[in-house]
Amino acid sequence: MELSNAEEQLMQILWKKEKAFMKELLEAYPEPKPALTTVATLLKRMQDKHFVGYDQVGRSREYFPKVSKKAYFGKQINGMIKSFFNNSASQFASYFTSETNLSDEELKELRKLIDEKIKNK
């Protein structure tokens, strides 16, 4: 299941904070801040999708992510590789390295990461 752009923006805030009350989430938004009802609606939809949970603290709810940023990002990348690159990680890597204007230093760092991964398998 995927998040809308608005849900993803809220999720980014929640991943960064790890736990937060509604007021803290609203304060973390850049200007112009959304209405409180908008954030409440987003949180409800994200709960229904099992991305967000909450603990009841008195009369307030403290929200927390139920899905890690790493797991969500990994699923998104894998979906993109499947949809746009014929399920080929090498086609994705080729596109990524040729179209993102990586510096020589960044390319060397990628090579180092790949070499370490191969060595550890």
Q: What is the DSSP string of 33-75?
A: PPPHHHHHHHHHHHHHTTSEEEEEETTEEEEEESS-HHHHHHH
- 95 Cα distance to chain centroid: 22
pLDDT surpasses 80 at 21: yes
Query: Do β-strands 20-21 and 60-65 pair in parallel, antiparallel, or remain unpaired?
Result: antiparallel
Counting Cα atoms < 13 Å in the Cβ hemisphere of 16 gives 10
- DSSP summary character for residue 32: S
Q: Which pLDDT does position 23 carry in this prediction?
A: 95
pLDDT class of 93 with cuts at 50, 70, 90: confident
With contact defined as beta carbons under 8 Å apart, do 26 and 36 qualify?
Answer: yes
pLDDT range class, residue 101, cuts 50, 70, 90 = confident
According to DSSP, the residues that pair with 52 across neighbouring strands are: 65
The confidence score (pLDDT) of residue 29 equals 96
Tokens at 70, concatenated: 């790493």
In terms of Cα–Cα distance, which of 79, 71, 84 is closest to 11? 71
| Whole-number pLDDT of residue 68 | 95
**CATH of the structural domain 5-65, one choice from 1.10.10.1100, 2.40.37.20, 1.10.10.10, 3.40.50.300:** 1.10.10.10
**What's the pLDDT at 64?**
98
pLDDT in tens, 28-76: 999 999 999 999 999 999 999 999 999 999 999 999 999 999 999 999 8
